[in-house]
Structure 1
Amino acid sequence: MFLEPHFSGQRSGWLEVICGSMFSGKTEELIRRLKRARIAGQEVAVFKPAVDTRYADQSVVSHDSNSFQATPITRSAQLLDLPDQVSVIGLDEAQFFDADIVKHTQDLAHRGKRIIIAGLDMDFRGKPFGPMADLLAVAEYITKVHAICSHCGNLATHSYRLTPNQDTVVLGEKDLYEARCRKCFRMGNMLDLR
């Protein structure tokens, strides 16, 4: 169950980060919050890294096929060109943005914007992924979502890569990744070292 942050006393801008492993519902939760903001009559703008072309070029799409129109960008500085009337900004797959995303989202929050960010907190090695650790450090609200371990059924916190490719960024779905709990992730990596 997701608990949305309570904002009744919040008058300035802020950052919300939704993080977790692959298949944990990060994009689904991002879309849910964006739809609620739009229903409330707030002006919403959504962005995704141009490198993420898995489902659609101009949308963020969850594994359940829910979607929200988005603008692909190549540099996080492009966020600063937003019209003033936009009050809610959504960012998906934040781990793929450049390191300046932290500074730019904070600048937007100082301008009174609500920024909702979704991304993988760890890469396939179990290490902090891209700018996510820094975004988590400066966020006012953090939601960590969990998948179900594909091996034992416990809560999954890790994204386990099924291929030997060692590049940090490898776009894929269930053909290349599994959600795993800490124990199954560790056991799989120990077997890979043999």
Structure 2
Amino acid sequence: MHAITNSGWIEVITGCMFSGKTEELLRRLRRAEIAGQEVAVFTPALDDRFGETTVGSHDGHHWEATVVESEGEGVWGLVDRLNGERVVAVDEANFFSTHLVDVCEHLAADGRRVVVSGTDQTFRGEPFEPVPQLVAVAEYVDKLQAICSVCGEPASRNQRLIDGEPAHADDPTILVGAEERYEARCRNCHAVRRN
């Protein structure tokens, strides 16, 4: 898929929730290991869905990861935790601050292959930084689609549901006592309630 060179590069795997981003990230890491390449995997401190130090996909695959702070200069801790690995993976890039862009650029300039996955849109359908910035500086970008949970068409949006209804655009991140869940939706079935 990618040329073997002596220079580094950035690969971004993006798309909506349930599109297989982490599954694709893990597939690339397995291939890197088969090729005898040492791999370092990082995940943000606030994502513990599959265990505190695990990157996992909805299909059950997982990989041990190092947890790094996702805010501010703490993202640079990722560089400090490397031990010579030439392949560096970052899952859930959308939970990191924009400092992740500089970190990835630094790693690629150091001759490393940097593989990043994360959703590129918020539930409102707006850019979810820093992923769009990473897309702009990456050598390789793959945007995956899921299946719309309403009509079955290709989905590219994250539908946030609060108590089974589309979320309001101005809803806070966490609503106390409310049931929150997400679905993949196509452009036509995606809804955001506005006041």
Q: 1:133 to 1:85 in 2, by over 3 A?
A: same
Give the TM-score of the pair, scaled to structure 1: 0.88
**Count of residues in correspondence between the two structures:** 182
In structure 2, what is the equivalent of residue 167 of structure 1? 172
Using the TM superposition, give the Cα deviation of residue 193 of structure 1 relative to its aligned residue in structure 2, in angstroms.
3.6
Q: Name the CA distance, whole Å, in 2 between partners of 1:87 and 1:130.
A: 25
Question: 1:31-74: CA deviations, max 9, x gaps?
Answer: 00011101111010000000001121111000111001101111
One-letter amino acid matched to 2:61 = N
Give the TM-score of the pair, scaled to structure 2: 0.88
In structure 2, what is the equivalent of residue 23 of structure 1? 18
Identity of aligned residues (%): 47
Q: 1:12 to 1:83 in 2, by over 3 A?
A: same
Q: Name the CA distance, whole Å, in 2 between partners of 1:56 and 1:155.
A: 30
Using the TM superposition, give the Cα deviation of residue 169 of structure 1 relative to its aligned residue in structure 2, in angstroms.
7.9
Contact 2:160 2:180 in 1 (8 A): no
Using the TM superposition, give the Cα deviation of residue 175 of structure 1 relative to its aligned residue in structure 2, in angstroms.
5.7
One-letter amino acid matched to 2:130 = P
Q: Name the CA distance, whole Å, in 2 between partners of 1:34 and 1:103.
A: 22
1:180 to 161, 169, 185: 185
In structure 2, what is the equivalent of residue 130 of structure 1? 129
Q: Report the 3-state secondary structure (helix = DSSP H, G, I; strand = E; otherwise coil) of the residue aligned with 1:72.
A: strand
- RMSD, matched Cα: 1.9
In structure 2, what is the equivalent of residue 68 of structure 1? 63
Q: 1:61 to 1:85 in 2, by over 3 A?
A: same
Q: 1:168 to 1:112 in 2, by over 3 A?
A: farther
Unmatched 5+ residue regions in structure 2? Answer: none
Using the TM superposition, give the Cα deviation of residue 20 of structure 1 relative to its aligned residue in structure 2, in angstroms.
0.2
Q: Report the 3-state secondary structure (helix = DSSP H, G, I; strand = E; otherwise coil) of the residue aligned with 1:55.
A: coil
Q: Report the 3-state secondary structure (helix = DSSP H, G, I; strand = E; otherwise coil) of the residue aligned with 1:182.
A: coil
Q: Name the CA distance, whole Å, in 2 between partners of 1:83 and 1:118.
A: 19
